[in-house]
Each structure stands twice: as structure tokens, then as C-alpha cells.
Amino acid sequence: MAAPADDGGRMSQVWHRVCLNTIVRKGVALDSERLRILPMGSRVHVVEQQDRRVRIDQPIAGWCSLKSSNGDTILTPLQDDEITDQAPVTPGGTNVNADQLARKAKNATAKTEQNLQKLENRMRDEFQNDQEVQKLTGNIEMLTRSLGEARRQKEELLHRAGNLEQKKKETAQENSMKREQIGEQEGQIADLQMQLSQAREALEEKVSGAGSDMPGDKEEIQKQYQETQADFRRAQEKLRHARMIQNQQQMELQTVKETVENMNNDPYANVTLNSAEICENDVVMMKGGIGIVVIRYVGPLEGKNPQEEYVGYEVSDPDPEGGFCDGEYEGVRYFETPEYCANFAPVSDVRRRITPAQLLQQLHEVMKQIERGGNAKE
């Protein structure tokens, strides 16, 4: 066998047999210019080696590989008894037909070129896919920033929603007080009407039985009659004003109710959500008349089928009779809320998710309605 390469990377001139079809390139680099393809069975004369790359001077000057990148042998040294003074470049022998060898070499070359073309097309496709991945990565980064901004807006809207809920409670309390005042005023009006009726009867009796010698009593009766009439008109004015305030407050409550119903009956939101589309702190509309809630937990529950997904949500008003808790289920704490303000339900019970933009639009509309109603009362 021929001698191996020396420390400088050069090696004794050694003949090698081509075990696999191989490409001869102009330089040592794998992306240098391609000169030709040597078919399997050919012989090459190696004069230099760099790692797994070797330089040949026969049958063509150039560079090829001893082994492939995955370790397959491409060139193997010829034994001494295989080497002759005139080593053939291609397989030969008295029993080999030159035309057959030429056809085989041509077919092998064509097949190799086809495989190379497929490999180049695949590499080009992968490069294009890399560009698409880069584009998608940029879009993901942009969407991540948008999501952060949307969550910030959602927190602001939740704060506004809390203020609106507080205002609703205050309005309901004020309305209850007004109704009590109206009831008291109606009772006072009934008393005044009864007193007026009695005064009229007494006046009629005195006027009918009074003589010309009782001018003082007649004037006193007329004065009492006038005062009674004035009291009656004032009572009627108070009643009218109280009823006007009550109607305005009822309109405000109706506006809030209609806003919630509009958000609940959005025809474009009747879609089925899954757990991947619901996040903690999302504002959603629940089925079953529960209304608008805030999601505090998404995932499985202790003691339930681990394949099923549940949501834990928080409501604004405590409900001690509806099976509500404070965020603990079967002894496991999932989140924490005031007492009787939390509950759990399957993900399928979520009717729809309310986006920050929708919530902001509805809140603005409600605030406008309440502001117009407030101006009308003044």
C-alpha cells in the first residue's frame, strides 16, 4: 500500500479507486467551482491531503473527498499489486466492454447530477423557509408588544369597570332612598288631600251657616283655605320632582342593562373558546346568566378528569347561596378573592371573551349616558 500523508498535509503519490460517484472541484472548499463527476470504479492519483479532502492530478487536476460528511468511503487506496506502471483511469480488463463501461458511467453521471439538482432545490427551499421563519419571528415580536399594550389597556379598563360597578351600587342605593322618600311624600300628599277635603267641608258648613254679622270668622276661614291650597300645590310639585328623578335613575339603570345585554348578544362572538384562547385576568361573559366576570385561573381541577380544562372566575358581588367560594376548591388554593366572590366552571361555559377595545367602547357609551342623565337632573 502507498505511504500515508506527512505532517505537512502532503502524501506520497497514491492511486485510489473511486467507491462512490464523486465531484471534482477546482479548490479545496466544498463550494468552489465544480469541474466534473468521477464515476464509481474510476481511479484517481492523489498527491495531497487536507483533512478529508485530497488533491488529485489524474485523470483531472482538482480536489475531491476521501470520505463523505456522514463517514461513507469515497476513495480507497489501491493495493500494490493493483497498481501498474500505466494505471488506468477507469476500470478496465480484458473481459470488460468499453462501451458498456461508458454507458454505465454516463448513466451514473446523469443520476448523480439529478440528485445534486434535487439537493440544490431542497437547499433553496430551506433557505426560503428560513426567510419565512424570520418574517414570522418578526411578526411574533410585534404581536407580543401589542399583547403587552392590550393587557395594559385591559388593566385600565378593569379599573374603570370597578369604578362603574361602584357607581352602579351607589346609584341603586340612591334610587332605593329616593323611592322611600317618594313613598313618604305620597303619604304626606294623601294626608294633605284629606286635610284639604276636611277643610273644604268645614268651610262650606261655615259659609252656609254664617250670617252677615260674622265677617271676622269668614275672613279667617278664607285665609286657612288659601294656605291649604298652597300646601297642596307644594306637595304636588315635590311629588312631580321626585318622580322625575326616579325616571331618570331608571333610565340610567336601563342603559347599563342594555349595554351588558348588547355585549352578551353580539352575533359575531358566538364561537367556542378553548383553554388556549383564555388567559388569566381576561374579561369574559359566562353562560347561565352569570354575566361579566374576570378569569383568575385556567387549567385542571383537583378531583376532576385531568384531561378536562376549567376556569376559575371572580364576580363583583358576593353570592353565598350560589355555591361561590374564595378561590379554593377541594382543599386546593388556586387563587384568592373576597368571600363568596369566586367559582369554577368548564371552559365550555365561557360564552365569549370581551376584548379591551369592546369594553372601552361600551364603558364610554355608559359614561356618556350617565353624564347626560346627570346634566338633566341639574
**344-350-355-361 Cα dihedral, nearest 10 degrees:** -100
Contacts of 333 (CB under 8 A, 6+ apart): 327
* Distance between CA atoms of residues 189 and 172, nearest Å: 25
- Strand-pair category, 43-50 with 53-58: antiparallel
Using the predicted structure, report yes or no on whether residue 2 has a pLDDT greater than 50: no
Q: How many CB atoms are closer than 10 A to CB 14? A: 20
What is the spatial order of strands in the sheet that 283-286 belongs to?
342-346, 310-314, 291-299, 283-286, 350-354
- Residue 110: name the closest of 205, 179, 21, 190 by CA: 21
- CA dist 261 → 92, 159, 160, 205 (Å): 92, 21, 19, 61
Tens-digit pLDDT profile for residues 312-334: 999 988 988 888 999 999 999 99
Taking the CA atoms of residue 151, residue 157, residue 162 and residue 163 in that order, the dihedral angle to the nearest 10 degrees is 150
Place 167 in a pLDDT band, splitting at 50, 70 and 90: confident
Per-residue pLDDT, 344: 94
Nearest-5° angle of CA 328, CA 329, CA 335? 35
159, 164, 165, 167 alpha-carbon torsion, rounded to 10°: 130
Per the CB < 8 A criterion, the answer to whether 247 and 182 are in contact is: no
Residue 96 pLDDT grade (very low, low, confident, very high; cuts 50, 70, 90): very low
Q: What is the mean pLDDT of residues 217-223?
A: 74
Q: Percentage of the chain surpassing pLDDT 90? A: 29
Q: What is the pLDDT of residue 372?
A: 65
Residue 5 above 70 pLDDT? Answer: no
Q: CA dihedral in degrees (301, 305, 309, 310; nearest 10)?
A: -40
**In this structure, which long-range contacts are made by residues 322-326, counting pairs with CB atoms below 8 Å and at least 24 apart in sequence?**
none
The stretch 14-40 carries a mean pLDDT of 93
SS3 311: strand
Report the sign of the C-alpha dihedral through residues 46, 49, 52, 53, in that order: negative
Is residue 259 predicted with pLDDT exceeding 50?
A: yes
Q: Which of 203-212, 226-235, 283-292, 312-321 has the highest mean pLDDT?
A: 312-321
Q: Which three cell numbers stand for residue 196?
A: 284639604
Average pLDDT over residues 52-70: 94
Give me the pLDDT at residue 149, please.
83
H helices of the chain, in order, are: 98-209, 215-264, 356-377
Average pLDDT over residues 91-101: 48
Cβ burial of 118 (10 Å; 0-12, 13-18, 19+) is: exposed
Backbone torsion region of residue 71, taken as left when φ is above 0, otherwise alpha when ψ lies between -120 and 50, otherwise beta: left
Per-residue b/e over 170-193, b at no fewer than 16 CB within 10 Å?
Answer: ebeeebeebeeebeebeeebeebe
Report whether 46 contacts 11 (CB < 8 A).
yes
Window from 187-196, 246-255, 321-330 with minimum mean pLDDT: 246-255
What number is the average pLDDT over the span 162-176? 78
| pLDDT tens string 37-57 | 999 999 999 999 999 999 999
CB 284 within 8 A of CB 350: yes
Contact call for residues 237 and 188 (beta carbons, < 8 A): no
345 pLDDT higher than 90: yes
In this predicted structure, the answer to whether residue 104 has a pLDDT above a threshold of 90 is no
What pLDDT is stored for residue 264 in this prediction?
Answer: 56
Q: Read off the C-alpha cell for 284.
A: 369574559
